[in-house]
Structure formats: C-alpha cells, structure tokens
Amino acid sequence: MFKNSTISRRLTYGFSAVIIIMLVIALLAIFRLNNIGTSVEYLTTNSYIVDTCVNDIKDGVNIYARSMRNLIIYVLAQDNQRDFDQIKNARAEVAEAYEKLDPLVNREDKEELDIYNNLLRIRQEYLNSQNTFLAYLNNDERDKAENHLKYEMRDIQNQYFEYIDKYSDIIRKEMARAGGETTDLITQTTFIIIAALALAVILAIILALWITKSIVNPVNQCVDAADKIADGDVNVAFKITYNDETARLMNAMGNMSKNIQAMVDDAKNLVASAKSGRLKDRADANRHNGAYRDIVGGVNEALDAIVDPINEAMEVMGKLANKDMTARVRGDYKGDLDLFKRDINLAAVNLEDSLVHVDMAVEQISSASTQISSGSQILAEATGEQASALEEISSSMEEINSLTNNNTDNSKIGLNLADKAVESVDEGGVAMNKMSEAMSFILKSSQETGKIIKTIDEIAFQTNLLALNAAVEAAHAGEAGKGFAVVAEEVKNLALRSAEAAKNTNDLIEESTKNAELGARIVEQVNQSFTEIRENFGKVKNIVNEIAASSQEQSQGVQQVNTAVQEMNKVTQQNAANAEESASAAEELNSQAAELNNMVAQFNLNRRNAKAKITHKAQPQISDRREKKQIAKKSEKSYEVNPEQLLPLDDISEDDFDDFI
C-alpha cells in the first residue's frame, strides 16, 4: 500500500497515526478522570455529610447527658436555667442533623436501614424519657428526677450510643469502600495511560525508522551515483523500491549517466580514430541533446580546425619530400596553428636556404680544396726550410751551452780571486795597524828628543850667559883680561852655535812629528779604504755568485730549448707528412665536392631569389675574399685562408628569414 505513495503522503500517514494514538490516550484519560471524579464526589457529597451528621448527633447526646447530670448536681434554679438552654439548643441541632441525614440514608442496604430505624426508635424513647426527667424537675421533684436519670435513662442512653456507633461504623465502612474504589480506579487509569503511551512511542519509532529508511536509501544511492559521476565513472545502476520522488530522481540520474556515457563513447571513438590516423572520422552530434550536442559539435569543429592545417602541412611535406623546396603552407590559421604554419614554412625556408648554401659551399669547397692542394706543397717546402733552421738553432744552442759553462767556471775562479783579494786586504790592514803603532813610537821618540834638545838649548843659553859674564869680567879686568875676553868670545860663539844646532834639530824633529801625524792620518784613511774594499769585494762576490747561478739557470734553459728544438724537429717531420696527406685529402675533397654538387642539383630550389638575397647580404665578405684570392695569386707564400671566409654561414641570421614568410 505504501510502495506507491509519495514521501509527503507517507509523512502524513505517519504523523496522523501518532496524532490519533495521542487523541485516544487523551480521551481515555478524560473518561477515567470522570469516573474518579464521580467517586470523589460521592465521597464528599454523601458519605462525608452522613458521617458529620452522625457525629453531630453523638455530640448532642453527650451534651444532653452532661446537662442532665448538671441539673441534678446544681440545685439552684439560676444554675439550672443554663443547662435547660443547652438541652434545648442540643435538641435543635440534633433535629437538624436528623433532617439532613434522613434523605442520605441508603435504603437499599437492609443492614443500614435496619440500624437507622432502630436509631430513630431509640431516639424517640430517649426523648420521651428525657421529657419525663424534665417534667420531674419542673415539678420540683428532684429526687424522682434523680432516680429517673440514674435508673431509667441510663439504659436508654447506652442503647442510643450503641446505635449511633453502629451506624457510624457502617458509614465508615462505606467510605472506606468508596475510597478503595477510587484508588483502584486511579491505579488502573495510570496503568492504561502508560501502556497506551508506550504503544504510541513504539509505533512512532517504527514509523519514523521506516519513513527515514524509505527516504535515505534512495538518496544515498543517488549520492553514490553522483560521486561516481563526479569521479568520471558514468556506469551507474539504481535499485528502485518505491514509486516516489526518489524514484524520479534516480531515473533522471540514470538518464544523465546514459547521455554522458554516449558522449564519452563518441569521444573514445574520436580518440581511437585520431590514434589510428583516421582524421576524417567525426561523431554524430544529432544523437545528443542540448549542451551535449554543443560539446560533441564543438569537438568536431575543433578537429576540423586542427586537421585542415595538418592536411595542408602533410601536402607541403610531401612536396618537400619530393625535393620541391618551393612548397609552402598558404592557409590562414590562428594562434598555435599559425605558429605551426610559420615553423613549417621556416623549416622549409631554412632547408631550402641550407641547400642553397650547400650549393654555394660546394663551389667554394672545390676552389678551396685546390688552394689547399697548392698550400700543402708550399707547406712541405716551408717545413724543409724549418728543419734546416732548426739544425742551425740546435748548433747555436750547443755553442751557447759551452759559453755558459765557461761563464760558470770563470765565475768560480772570480769568486776564488775575490776571496784571495779580501785576504790580502785583511793582511794589508794588519800591516797598516803595525805601521800606525810604529808611527806613534816615532812620535813619542821625537817628543823625548825634543825635550833633550830643549835641555841642550838651555845649556847653550846658560853657557852664553856665562861667556857674557866672563867677557864683562874681562872688561872689568882691563888690559889683564884681554886674553880671557878672547876665550869668553869663543865660548860664547860655541854656545851660539850649539843653540843654533839645537834649534835646527828641534825644527827637524817638529817636521818629523808633523810627518808622523800625517802618516797616522794616512794610515787611518788607508784602513777606511781597506774596509770599503772589503765591502766592495763582498758585493763583487755576491754578483759573481749571481752570475754563477744565472749561468746555471741559463744552462738549464739551454737544455730545455734543446729539448724543445728536438720536439719541434719531430713536429716538423710530422708536418711534412701531414702536408703530403693534406694534398691527397684535398684531391679527395675535390671529387666529393663534385658529387655533392650533383646531389644538390636534383633539388628544385627557388634559387634565383634566395641566392640574390644571400649574395646581397654577403657582398662585402665575398669581395674581401676575392681580394684575398688575388693576393694569394700574387704572392705564393700568403696561402692563409680562413674557413669563415670560405663558408660565410654566419652572415644570414634568423631575422633575414622573416622576409620570406
């Protein structure tokens, strides 16, 4: 029944069921509460009032008993009046209680009715007996009244109390019964409500679980399917249990996956075609709807856009393969395809250009190989000359070596001589020192001699004075002293002569002293000169040592040069052999260039165009080369030709090709 209902309807059913159960529970509760209310009302409006009335009656009887005893005890009329009043009031209250009680008596209950009738009868008896007592009192027959009370009324009163208590017991029992019924009713009701609630909760849970399951299962299926589609797996299947909204959703998703699968199949087919090179295959866009049709149609268009230039490129490549170098891609393409077209054209142009260059290069190679051939012969001759020059160098080096050795020996001899010279200078120094000492001795002797001479001079002076005194004395003696005067004169002359000799000697000594001092100074100067000579000889030794070391190095250098010359000799020999080989290789090159020329001639080149362009660009280079050629012809020895001059490949840069496209 529910399989074909929608989710909303199912939800409605579920919630309705729960609401109905709740209504039933509520009605049941109300009904039961009514029963309970009735019981309680019975208790309050019947049993309770009956009980109250019985109690009132009992109170009234008690008041009677007490008042009547008081009437016996108290004898003064004024005291009795109060008890009379009390009895009167009690009668009124008791009568009122009976009036209230009477309609409430359950006359269907035999036991209760019986007790009630006995109660009414004993009441009447009691009232009659009481009236008798009151009459005795009114008649002032107090003894009779007392006896009546003590012996007549006591029995009646006890019976009265007995029936009151009986009735009270019955009423109590009734109340207990009614109260128990009510309690039972409440317990029952509580149980019923709990049971109904439990039923309702269980039912609600079952319904909720079932409805949730019925919604969640299909939705989960849909979510899984959507995840798979999102991950690219469009092969999805659904298990449809209910005919509701989820079923519609699953059907829609199934259709979607089918459409996507169809599109994917088309794409796979196209890819397979492209892989196997069937570039003309296309997908049928009419099998798809809406955006899918747009996609498939777009792919077809994209293929068209890619395949057209490829087809044209294939065509051009075919022509190029057939050695037609003039073929180019002409179509108008955009973006990368334009780049593709430009690259192909550039490749073709480069190829064509390269071939043109090859053609030109072949010509140049053939002329260059001729030149190489002649150059190789010249090289062979030059190598011979070089060899003889190397011989000369070798012998020169031998001479230099022997000279260097001589140099080394001479420098050793020079060193020995310098050492000897230094020794001689040292000896000279010693001799000069001795001479200096001798000079100082001479000086000393001279000074001592001077002193002696001075003494002699003094003696001469004294002698002179003595001679003069003698002369004076002779004069004093007159004629007798004449002979003595002559002697005195002679003595004086001798004294003068000795003084003069002393003076001369002194002069000589002074001169010799001066000479000795001069000698000492000269000795000092000579010593200084010797020291300088020593130093200079030290320098000379250093220089001679350096010369010796330099000669040694020079000798080694000469050795190395010798080795190098030998090496050069070998290389020269090798060069001679190489020149021979070079000549034969040039011959070979020439024949190969001719072969290459034949091969290049097979290509259809847009020759005039390309050549003109290249010739224009390379004009100065070529003219320069021609000049070089002329120079080479004039002078046989200037056979240097650079490869760059022969093959001016660098002259054409990429920029130049932009002009072709």
Partner 1 sequence: MTEAIKKTDLTDISGKYLSFNLLEELYGINVDRILQIIAIPDITPIPKTPEFVKGVINLRGKIIPVIDLRKKFRLPSEDYTDRTSIVIIKVEHEGNEIFIGTIVDKVLEVMDISQEDIENTPKFGIKLDTEFISGMAKVKGKVITLLNINRVLTEEELTTLTNENE
In the complex, the residues that contact partner 1 under the rule CB under 8 A are: 457-458, 461-462, 464-465, 468-469, 471-472, 474-476, 485, 488, 492
**Minimum CB separation from partner 1 for residue 475, in Å?**
4
- Whole-number Cα distances in Å, 231 to 222, 225, 226, 314: 14, 10, 9, 39
The residue (of 146 and 457) whose beta carbon lies closer to partner 1 is 457
**Minimum CB separation from partner 1 for residue 458, in Å?**
7
Q: Are the CB atoms for 32 and 192 separated by under 8 Å?
A: yes
The residue (of 323 and 451) whose beta carbon lies closer to partner 1 is 451
C-alpha torsion angle, residues 287, 290, 293, 299 (rounded to 10): -160
**Minimum CB separation from partner 1 for residue 535, in Å?**
52
Q: Are the CB atoms for 71 and 86 separated by under 8 Å?
A: no
Q: Are the CB atoms for 346 and 313 separated by under 8 Å?
A: no
Beta partners for residue 324, in sequence order: 604
The residue (of 369 and 464) whose beta carbon lies closer to partner 1 is 464
Residue 67: which of 76, 80, 58 has the closest Cα? 80
**Minimum CB separation from partner 1 for residue 495, in Å?**
11
The residue (of 485 and 522) whose beta carbon lies closer to partner 1 is 485
Encode 224-248 in three state secondary structure.
HHHHHHHCCCCCCCCCCCCCCHHHH
The residue (of 437 and 458) whose beta carbon lies closer to partner 1 is 458
The residue (of 349 and 460) whose beta carbon lies closer to partner 1 is 460
The residue (of 16 and 469) whose beta carbon lies closer to partner 1 is 469
**Minimum CB separation from partner 1 for residue 508, in Å?**
19
The residue (of 277 and 478) whose beta carbon lies closer to partner 1 is 478
The residue (of 143 and 479) whose beta carbon lies closer to partner 1 is 479
Query: Which contacts of 635-642 are long-range, i.e. CB under 8 A and separated by 24 or more positions?
Result: 636/378, 637/378, 639/371, 639/374, 639/375, 639/378, 639/379, 641/368, 641/371, 641/375
CB neighbours of 285 closer than 8 A, spacing ≥ 6? 293, 296, 297, 300
**Minimum CB separation from partner 1 for residue 485, in Å?**
7
**Minimum CB separation from partner 1 for residue 513, in Å?**
20
The residue (of 172 and 503) whose beta carbon lies closer to partner 1 is 503
**Minimum CB separation from partner 1 for residue 472, in Å?**
5
Q: Are the CB atoms for 380 and 579 separated by under 8 Å?
A: yes
**Minimum CB separation from partner 1 for residue 441, in Å?**
28
**Minimum CB separation from partner 1 for residue 432, in Å?**
39
Q: 583: buried, middle or exposed (CB in 10 Å: 19+, 13-18, 0-12)? A: middle
Q: ∠ at Cα 478 (476, 481), nearest 5°? A: 90
**Minimum CB separation from partner 1 for residue 450, in Å?**
14
**Minimum CB separation from partner 1 for residue 474, in Å?**
8
> 3-class DSSP state for residue 334?
coil
Residue 324's φ and ψ, nearest 5 degrees, are -90, 100
Classify the C-alpha dihedral 288-293-297-299 as positive or negative: negative
**Minimum CB separation from partner 1 for residue 424, in Å?**
51
The residue (of 327 and 488) whose beta carbon lies closer to partner 1 is 488
Question: Rounded to an integer, what distance in angstroms lies between the CA atom of residue 251 and that of residue 5?
Answer: 17
Encode 403-466 in three state secondary structure.
HHHHHHHHHHHHHHHHHHHHHHHHHHHHHHHHHHHHHHHHHHHHHHHHHHHHHHHHHHHHHHHH
Question: Rounded to an integer, what distance in angstroms lies between the CA atom of residue 386 and that of residue 583?
Answer: 19
The residue (of 67 and 464) whose beta carbon lies closer to partner 1 is 464
- Whole-number Cα distances in Å, 552 to 156, 396, 414, 418, 556: 181, 18, 16, 20, 6
Residue 325's φ and ψ, nearest 5 degrees, are -85, 0
Q: Are the CB atoms for 562 and 447 separated by under 8 Å?
A: no
**Minimum CB separation from partner 1 for residue 520, in Å?**
30
Residues in the chain: 661
The residue (of 62 and 469) whose beta carbon lies closer to partner 1 is 469
Question: Rounded to an integer, what distance in angstroms lies between the CA atom of residue 370 and that of residue 361?
Answer: 14
- Whole-number Cα distances in Å, 164 to 51, 92, 94, 96, 121: 11, 18, 12, 16, 12
The residue (of 227 and 473) whose beta carbon lies closer to partner 1 is 473
